[in-house]
């Protein structure tokens, strides 16, 4: 899964969860920062892909390292507990990072997901391409070929969700939420 898949699906789940599901059961989150949810949705890849595929490409060759562990999410949560002024932002960041792990199906790679319970080493991946440029070019071209692959379908789904959320935000700004005001609004209030 790439950028649109992670950001779109995570923001869609966060929006439905925080706007509809939690208020329905009586939980009203005070401050939800969707920017930090989106950053958290790609944070594990922003940390692990450059380290595992570029810096350690010859030895580790794995794009799922420390950022793809449950320990990383727990450390983010602990940082959120200690930062009083930015607690909501760090919690949104950790929610996005946790959703990234779910979307990557990290439970299938339990040695990475439950690091360091299975040891302190990460599984070695396969070297793809001669250098980092070839790796990203191959991954990009193979992922966006129209097919029913998991990556392609999740990218399309994430893009559709992002367009819907952008449309919702535009409608909310221009029409003041779901109940938009028309020229007859003042007349009806009299």
Q: What is the pLDDT of residues 132-163, one digit of tens each?
A: 677 777 777 766 667 767 778 888 899 999 99
pLDDT, residue 183, reads 47
Query: Between these two residues, 12 and 86, which has the higher pLDDT value?
Result: 12
CA angle 36/38/43 to nearest 5° reads: 85
pLDDT band at residue 177, thresholds of 50, 70 and 90? low
Tell me how many domains the chain contains.
1
Radius of gyration of the chain (CA): 20
On the question of pLDDT at 190 being above 50, the answer is no
Per-residue pLDDT tens over the stretch 72-89: 999 999 998 898 888 888
**What pLDDT digit, counting tens, does each position of 91-139 carry?**
999 999 999 999 988 888 877 788 887 777 776 666 666 666 777 777 7
Give the integer Cα–Cα distance in Å for 81 and 88.
9
Instruction: Say what the pLDDT of residue 143 is.
Output: 65
Q: Which structure tokens are listed for 64?
A: 């799922």
Domain hosting 90: range is 3-189
Mean pLDDT of 174-184: 55
**Residue-wise over 93-105: b if at least 16 C-beta within 10 A, else e?**
bbbbbbbbbebbe
pLDDT for position 74: 94
> Of 62, 153, 48, which is closest to residue 97 (Cα–Cα)?
48
pLDDT tens digits, 35-69: 999 999 999 988 888 877 677 766 666 777 788 88
At 35 the pLDDT is 93
- pTM of the predicted model as reported, rounded to 2 decimal places: 0.78
Percent of the chain with pLDDT over 70: 79
């Amino acid at each position: 899964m790439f950028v649109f898949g992670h950001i779109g699906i995570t923001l869609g789940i966060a929006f439905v969860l925080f706007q509809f599901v939690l208020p329905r059961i009586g939980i009203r989150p005070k401050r939800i920062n969707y920017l930090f949810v989106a950053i958290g949705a790609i944070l594990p890849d922003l940390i692990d892909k450059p380290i595992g595929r570029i810096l350690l490409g010859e030895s580790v060759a794995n794009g799922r390292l420390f950022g793809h562990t449950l320990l990383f999410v727990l450390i983010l949560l602990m940082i959120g507990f200690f930062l009083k002024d930015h607690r909501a932002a760090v919690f949104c960041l950790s929610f996005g990072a946790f959703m990234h792990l779910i979307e990557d199906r990290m439970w299938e790679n339990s040695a990475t997901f439950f690091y360091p319970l299975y040891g302190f080493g990460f599984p070695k991946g396969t070297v793809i391409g001669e250098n980092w440029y070839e790796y990203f070019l191959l991954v990009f071209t193979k992922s966006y070929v129209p097919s029913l692959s998991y990556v392609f379908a999740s990218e399309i789904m994430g893009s559709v969700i992002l367009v819907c959320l952008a449309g919702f935000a535009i409608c909310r700004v221009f029409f003041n939420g779901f109940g938009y005001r028309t020229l007859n609004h003042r007349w009806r209030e009299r």
